[in-house]
Amino acid sequence: MRKNAVEIRDLRVVRGGRPVVDGLGLTVPAGSVVGLLGPSGSGKTTLMRSIVGVQDKVTGTVEVLGAPAGSPSLRRRVGYMTQDASVYTDLTVVQNLRYFAALAGVPAPARAVAAAVATVDLGGHEKQRVGTLSGGERSRVSLAAALVGDPELLVLDEPTVGLDPVLRRDLWSVFRRLAADGRTLLVSSHVMDEATQCDRLLLLRAGGLVADTTPDDLLASTGAPDAERAFLTLIDRFAERGAAPAGRHTAEEDPR
């Protein structure tokens, strides 16, 4: 079994003539839920777009499931859920999923659509137009669209943003079930309490890696009572040393 689902070395992304990620290196262990945490503007989306192969002006090595990011062979092996809804509100749930199944070249689309609907607990909504669904249900449709190709790696960009605590909890239950089935999940968030739901944490600030750790080790190393204060403690330590994470810009420049 492959040890790492993602391996990144010396990643550099330039936007507007300046690097927004510069010299980043990290790994995503296979078969785990990895949280990509950091405040807005820390570079989470840029990193995720680099992993799925849709980010331009990228240099360095980004290897995904043993192949270069964006390789045609990864088309069905990687599922990507964007931060903004990537489904069509004027189509029904099933119509959306059939469309995405066709894009992925799924050989048995009806079976794949039914499996995706069941996985995200949308049974009974199959014929409902997405525009009439609640925000939480639309997030589930977007997740189902990422799942319809039965991917090995799921890259989920802030999938719980804007959801209430109950809906966030329900989505994280789905993520844990997917990981238990053997998938690898990379889930970004700026909600620090979601860190406890992950097997491993990658903490970003200003386009650089502040820490690669586990939830338990994060709290133990900082002595903080929760993930948010632990993250702030790490940032303060960098500031006290007169150092910053890799990257030559500030968070306010929004390298996302």
The answer to whether residue 134 sits within a structural domain is no
By the 8 A CB rule, do 213 and 221 touch? Answer: yes
Per-residue HEC secondary structure of the chain comes to: CCCEEEEEEEEEEEECCEEEEEEEEEEEECCCEEEEECCCCCCHHHHHHHHHCCCCCEEEEEEECCEECCCHHHCCCEEEECCCCCCCCCCEHHHHHHHHHHHHCCCCHHHHHHHHHHHCCCCCCCCCEHHHCCHHHHHHHHHHHHHCCCCCEEEECCCCCCCCHHHHHHHHHHHHHHHHCCCEEEEEECCHHHHHHCCEEEEEECCEEEEEECHHHHHHHHCCCCHHHHHHHHHHHHHHCCCCCCCCCCHHHCCC
Chain segment 103-156, per-residue pLDDT in tens: 989 999 999 999 999 999 999 999 999 999 998 899 999 999 999 999 999 999
Domain count, the chain: 1
- CATH number for the domain including 48? 3.40.50.300
The answer to whether residue 208 sits within a structural domain is yes
Residue 1 has a pLDDT of: 52
The answer to whether residue 123 sits within a structural domain is no
The answer to whether residue 27 sits within a structural domain is yes
- Looking at the chain, the whole-number percentage of residues with pLDDT higher than 70 is 92
Burial level of 212, CB count in 10 A (0-12/13-18/19+)?
middle
Chain segment 196-233, per-residue pLDDT in tens: 899 999 998 888 898 999 999 999 999 999 988 998 89
Chain segment 177-202, per-residue pLDDT in tens: 999 999 999 999 888 888 889 999 99
By the 8 A CB rule, do 144 and 154 touch? Answer: no
> Which residues span the domain enclosing 2?
1-77+186-256
Chain segment 52-85, per-residue pLDDT in tens: 999 998 999 999 999 999 999 998 999 999 988 7
The answer to whether residue 145 sits within a structural domain is no
With 70 as the cut, is the pLDDT of residue 2 above it? no
Residue 251 has a pLDDT of: 32
The answer to whether residue 67 sits within a structural domain is yes
Instruction: Among 35-39, 57-61, 90-94, 221-225, name the one with the lowest average pLDDT.
Output: 35-39
Under the banding of pLDDT at 50, 70 and 90, the label for residue 17 is confident
Instruction: Among 5-9, 99-103, 128-132, 247-251, name the one with the lowest average pLDDT.
Output: 247-251
Rounded-to-integer distance, Cα 228 and Cα 122, Å: 32
The answer to whether residue 110 sits within a structural domain is no
The answer to whether residue 11 sits within a structural domain is yes
